[in-house]
């Protein structure tokens, strides 16, 4: 039986390799030059992540200030979130513009390693001073990027108040200062209530009104500041998160103090658009698209240069649309010479089509498991499973320990079949 145990362990390792692929990440680099530079329209930015903020949590009743403010000074974006809907992968998506893997669920429980490149890195290199308060995962991912920071643990799920009061205390200190360029806040209380009591609890409404008043307080103390308020993921109807239901994978993005249009797009699009708005490089890791709903207020030349920049960045990751992008570059050059808006529109159309094609291809390859490994590992597991079942039924005199060993191995092999069923249904 020892040989079967060894084979079973190898099949499990092969299965994990197929189910939890670790993709190669591009090294930090910049392709921006003088011809692709865009100026920052906003000197300061405030980014607020309200953990587990569902799409339907924003309403005139629970968030009266936000509901009124986005209608008057901004827009409401429905953001599509990829699975797994847990905090660490979602923070990576929000900052790198890429799709983390299911293996990040494991890292979410352990100590996360720092990120190589992100919007945070690009802002830091640009000389932006960044302050952060909230979930301490950010401090672990970006240990050298913040001018000032203080993290709070996300594991004390029964803490609904202190975990957020600590963030707000620092917010009020920062409001008295003017030496930072970007302030990032990550509030945890809403998520904790959801885990313990679910989304229908009266505590949810109370927490949402608290968040609404905090945003209002910061907003009224800042002038020409770009505000973005979103959730890292949503919350399932039964409370908690981690799956792929609609309430978990659809969150709001409220943009304030900027002319923009209500829209729907992917969470991985946020870093690239935010980079353009604040005048920093798009992270090399980004596979996101630029959205006219957020950047339509730029002048035509700036918008075209931004589209060109992102299209070239995406093309460097996939051998697609090379000739089309060159055609768009030609349209752009002619537009700059002749100021023909027809040529500008042709360039926009080609850049956007190519960016969409490449982004979707990269997204698909990022989340695709290795089906060959899964099938081979599962077939091996099936053979071993039959042998173990045969041995258990044949050897009645086996010791209790031996039977427990066989039962444990049997359980691990059954998990492979459950996992393959999950893969086929995702």
Residue 34 confidence (pLDDT) above 60: no
13 and 130 part of one domain: no
pLDDT, mean of residues 358-368:
82
55 and 181 part of one domain: yes
pLDDT, mean of residues 370-391:
62
- Residue with the two structure tokens 């505590």: 203
* Residue 387 domain flag: yes
Lowest mean pLDDT among 26-30, 103-107, 224-228, 361-365: 26-30
pLDDT, mean of residues 138-159:
88
- String of DSSP letters for 328-341: HHHHHHHHHHH--H
pLDDT, mean of residues 66-70:
97
* Residue 54 domain flag: yes
* Residue 337 domain flag: no
pLDDT tens for 341-354 read: 999 999 999 999 99
Check which CATH number belongs to the domain holding 66 and give it.
3.40.720.10
221 and 109 part of one domain: yes
- The pLDDT score that the predictor gives to residue 406 is 57
| Domain finish residue from 280, 295, 310 | 295
Distance of CA 62 to the CA centre of its chain: 25
* Residue 260 domain flag: yes
Q: For 36, how many CA atoms within 13 A lie in the half-sphere containing its CB? A: 18
* Residue 49 domain flag: yes
Instruction: Encode 222-256: b = buried (16+ Cβ within 10 Å), e = exposed.
Output: beebbbbbbbbbbbbeebbbebebebbbbbbbbbb
Residue 46 confidence (pLDDT) above 50: yes
| Domain finish residue from 267, 295, 323 | 295
Q: Report residue 24's pLDDT band, with 50, 70 and 90 as the boundaries.
A: very low
* Residue 215 domain flag: yes
pLDDT, mean of residues 28-52:
69
* Residue 74 domain flag: yes
Q: Which contacts of 126-129 are long-range, i.e. CB under 8 A and separated by 24 or more positions?
A: 126/279, 126/280, 126/281, 128/181, 128/182, 128/278, 128/280, 129/179, 129/180, 129/181, 129/182
- The pLDDT score that the predictor gives to residue 302 is 95
Number of domains making up the chain: 2
Report the phi/psi class of residue 318: left, alpha or beta, with left for phi > 0 and alpha for psi in -120 to 50. beta
- Name residues whose C-beta falls within 8 Å of residue 24's C-beta, 6 or more positions apart in sequence: none
pLDDT tens for 233-278 read: 999 999 999 899 999 999 999 999 999 999 999 999 999 999 999 9
Sign of the dihedral defined by the CA atoms of residues 117, 123, 126, 131, in that order: negative
Q: Report residue 27's pLDDT band, with 50, 70 and 90 as the boundaries.
A: very low
Q: Report residue 31's pLDDT band, with 50, 70 and 90 as the boundaries.
A: very low
* Residue 328 domain flag: no
pLDDT, mean of residues 222-236:
94
Q: Cα(82)–Cα(320) distance, rounded to whole angstroms?
A: 23
- The pLDDT score that the predictor gives to residue 11 is 58
Residue 400 confidence (pLDDT) above 80: no
Length of the chain, in residues: 426
Residue 57: closest CA among 230, 282, 270 = 230
Do β-strands 130-135 and 44-50 pair in parallel, antiparallel, or remain unpaired?
Answer: unpaired
- The pLDDT score that the predictor gives to residue 264 is 98
Residue 13 confidence (pLDDT) above 60: no
Residue 192: closest CA among 245, 235, 150, 228 = 235
Residue 72 confidence (pLDDT) above 50: yes
Lowest mean pLDDT among 20-34, 174-188, 395-409: 20-34
The dihedral formed by the CA atoms of 144, 134, 123 and 353, expressed in degrees to the nearest 10: 130
Residue 417 confidence (pLDDT) above 60: no
pLDDT tens for 96-141 read: 999 876 555 555 445 566 788 999 999 999 999 999 999 999 999 9
- The pLDDT score that the predictor gives to residue 370 is 53
The residue range of the domain holding 416 is: 2-21+369-424
pLDDT, mean of residues 161-166:
92
| Domain finish residue from 258, 275, 295 | 295
170 and 228 part of one domain: yes
- String of DSSP letters for 280-304: -PPPTT------HHHHTTS-HHHHH
288 and 171 part of one domain: yes
Residue 359 confidence (pLDDT) above 70: yes
Residue 145 confidence (pLDDT) above 70: yes
pLDDT, mean of residues 196-204:
96
Determine what percent of the chain is predicted with pLDDT higher than 70: 73
Average pLDDT of every residue of the chain: 84
pTM exceeds 0.75, yes or no: yes
- The pLDDT score that the predictor gives to residue 376 is 66
């Amino acid at each position: 039986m020892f040989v079967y145990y060894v084979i079973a362990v190898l099949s499990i390792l092969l299965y994990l390799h197929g189910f939890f692929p670790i993709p190669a990440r591009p090294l930090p680099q910049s392709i921006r030059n003088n011809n692709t530079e865009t100026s920052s329209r906003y000197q300061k930015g405030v980014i607020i992540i309200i953990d587990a903020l569902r799409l339907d949590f924003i309403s005139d009743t629970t968030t009266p200030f936000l509901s009124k403010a986005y209608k008057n000074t901004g827009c409401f974006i429905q953001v599509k979130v990829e699975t797994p809907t847990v905090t660490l992968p979602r923070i990576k998506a929000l900052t790198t513009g890429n799709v983390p893997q299911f293996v990040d669920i494991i890292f979410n429980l352990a100590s996360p390693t720092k990120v190589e490149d992100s919007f945070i890195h690009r802002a830091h290199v640009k000389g932006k001073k960044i302050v952060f308060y909230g979930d301490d995962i950010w401090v672990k991912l970006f240990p050298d990027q913040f001018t000032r920071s203080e993290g709070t643990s996300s594991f004390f799920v029964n803490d609904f108040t202190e975990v957020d009061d600590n963030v707000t205390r620092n917010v009020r200190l920062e409001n008295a200062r003017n030496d930072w360029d970007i302030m990032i806040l990550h509030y945890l209380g809403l998520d904790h209530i959801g885990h313990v009591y679910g989304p229908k609890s009266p505590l949810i409404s109370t927490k949402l009104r608290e968040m609404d008043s905090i945003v209002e307080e910061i907003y009224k103390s800042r002038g020409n500041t770009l505000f973005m308020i979103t959730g890292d993921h949503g919350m399932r109807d039964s409370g908690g998160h981690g799956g792929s239901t609609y309430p978990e994978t659809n969150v709001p993005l409220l943009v304030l103090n900027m002319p923009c249009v209500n829209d729907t797009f992917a969470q991985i699009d946020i870093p690239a658009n935010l980079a353009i708005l604040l005048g920093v490089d798009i992270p090399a890791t980004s596979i996101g698209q630029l959205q006219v709903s957020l950047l339509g207020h730029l002048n035509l030349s700036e918008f075209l240069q931004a589209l060109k920049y992102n299209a070239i960045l995406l093309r460097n990751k996939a051998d697609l649309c090379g000739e089309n992008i060159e055609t768009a570059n030609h349209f752009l050059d002619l537009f700059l010479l002749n100021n023909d808006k027809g040529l500008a529109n042709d360039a926009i159309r080609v850049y956007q089509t190519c960016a969409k094609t490449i982004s979707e291809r990269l997204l698909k390859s990022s989340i695709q498991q290795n089906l060959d490994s899964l099938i081979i590992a599962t077939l091996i597991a099936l053979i071993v499973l039959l042998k173990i079942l045969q041995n258990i039924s044949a050897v009645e005199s086996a010791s209790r320990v031996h039977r427990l060993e066989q039962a444990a191995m049997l359980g691990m092999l059954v998990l492979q079949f459950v996992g393959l069923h999950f893969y086929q249904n995702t």
